[in-house]
Amino acid sequence: MGKPSLPQGTRDFGPDVVRKRNYILNIIKSVFELYGFQPLETPALENLDTLMGKYGDEGDKLIFKILNNGLDNPVKEKQVREDFEKVLSGKSTNGITERALKYDLTIPFARYVAMNHNTLNFPFKRYQVQPVWRADRPQRGRYREFYQCDADVVGSKSLLNEVELISIYQEVFIKLGLINYELRINHRQILAGLAEICGGADKMMDITIAIDKLDKIGLEKVKEELINRGLTGEQTAIIENYLGISGDNNNILSNLFSLIGQTATGKKGIEEIKHVVEHSSSASLIIDPTLARGLNYYTGIIFEAKAPAEVKMGSIGGGGRYDDLTGLFGVAGIPGVGISFGVDRIYDVMEELKLFPDDVFISTQALFFNLSEKESKIAFPLMQEMRQHNIRCELYHEAAKFDKQFKYAEKKNIPFVIIIGEKEIAAKKAVVKDIRKGEQREIDFDELIHSIFN
């Protein structure tokens, strides 16, 4: 075997990285808990037919499928060969693969709700932080294994849920220090109203896909794409009008109303946005008529959280309302709304803006120097007593030169070293040195547990 390596698009997370990731995740989870959300975990594997057909044709191709075991069983050879022919022609078949790695958290959640709707206490508010897998081509900020961090409320149509989710975004981003984030908000029914006005309700998908790209490719290219997707010049002109809407939230609302307020769907969308905006205090909340979001199961309000403009990272979270997610699994009539945090991207943004606090890196607080077998026998019970008092500490594993022990402490970011040698044992006092300040003092053995090591 050659040099070991990782599968494409996957990563190891070293100690410092895990600490920083946990810092982010702990803040998000604690805010979820604060709002009454409950944790859920589902398996890494799902049955393939639970996932297939839920993410569109592109999505199906990106699902990691797992080869069945026992395909080499001679008894099954004929069947396996037949099934494999189907695979070659682009179909997937249970004979070859019946399990797959999960592709997102939403569909497994929908499956869970469909399976347990008789026993769940609605509205059911759950959060879920787990890895998901996509056979996509990796790029910056895009991996084949990455974490999603979702919170959803199912079994309630109340817009109070939207207001609360907006508040969660606000609270999390402020706590993380991303004070200049933006939360863009729009409504699928506003987009539907636009399509209706254009006289092309059936063209809603084409319209949303095209206008979603506005900030990326510019107005001219969007118009081009609309024409290519079969819209007339007249229809395109109406859309151009729509895209030109700007100003503060009130301005946008009144402009939207005069453009598409006469359609029932458009009107409803505008009213819902208005209601939510009026009940939210976040200054980061911005109505963005060009926001569309790809996932087509959204039916109501949609969100997209953007990183502070100075880092050019784009989306760091998103979500929206869906009327009938569990319908795919035979249980109709459970509406829901959810949001998601893009943990990997939030990490990159925080790294760039240097927002991780210094104490994230401090694990062990104090290192006992090991001067000899005899002296370490005195140090060991003192260390154990400190551990009893929740002071994180360790004893250097063998007697070594000071130089070596200092370097170990320094590299591991341990702020204090405790030196106990013959002199100290005689006086029952330990030398405690603060590495960062370069200062040291003597502390009675009995007082160590009451001293401060941070």
Instruction: Say if residues 165 and 303 touch (Cβ distance below 8 Å).
Output: yes
In angstroms, what is the minimal distance from the CB of 32 to RNA?
17
In angstroms, what is the minimal distance from the CB of 293 to RNA?
7
Nearer to RNA, 271 or 348 (CB): 348
Give the whole-angstrom CA distance, residue 232 versus residue 227: 6
Nearer to RNA, 155 or 421 (CB): 421
In angstroms, what is the minimal distance from the CB of 211 to RNA?
12
In angstroms, what is the minimal distance from the CB of 34 to RNA?
22
First CA to last CA distance, the chain: 46
In angstroms, what is the minimal distance from the CB of 224 to RNA?
11
Cα-trace Rg, the chain: 29
Nearer to RNA, 124 or 143 (CB): 143
Nearer to RNA, 5 or 388 (CB): 5
Give the whole-angstrom CA distance, residue 146 versus residue 131: 5
Cα–Cα–Cα angle for 401, 404, 410, nearest 5°?
140
Give the whole-angstrom CA distance, residue 296 versus residue 106: 13
Give the whole-angstrom CA distance, residue 19 versus residue 361: 7
In angstroms, what is the minimal distance from the CB of 140 to RNA?
3
> In 3-state terms, what secondary structure has residue 287?
strand
Tokens of 270: 């505008």
> In 3-state terms, what secondary structure has residue 132?
strand
Q: In angstroms, what CA-CA distances link 182 with 283, 285, 330, 361?
A: 9, 6, 37, 29
Length of the chain equals 454
Q: What are phi and psi of 266, to 5 degrees?
A: -60, -45
What amino acid occupies position 339? I
Nearer to RNA, 86 or 404 (CB): 404
Judged by the rule CB under 7 A, the positions of this chain that interact with RNA are 2-3, 5-9, 56, 58-59, 62, 104, 134, 136-144, 146, 148, 209, 216, 293-295, 315-318, 340, 342, 344-345, 371, 401-404, 406-407, 409-411, 419, 421-424, 431, 433, 435-436, 438, 440
What amino acid occupies position 341? F
Nearer to RNA, 136 or 394 (CB): 136
Nearer to RNA, 140 or 450 (CB): 140
In angstroms, what is the minimal distance from the CB of 258 to RNA?
30
In angstroms, what is the minimal distance from the CB of 217 to RNA?
7
Nearer to RNA, 14 or 233 (CB): 14
> In what side-by-side order are the strands of the sheet with 393-395?
393-395, 366-368, 416-419, 429-434, 439-444
> In 3-state terms, what secondary structure has residue 439?
strand
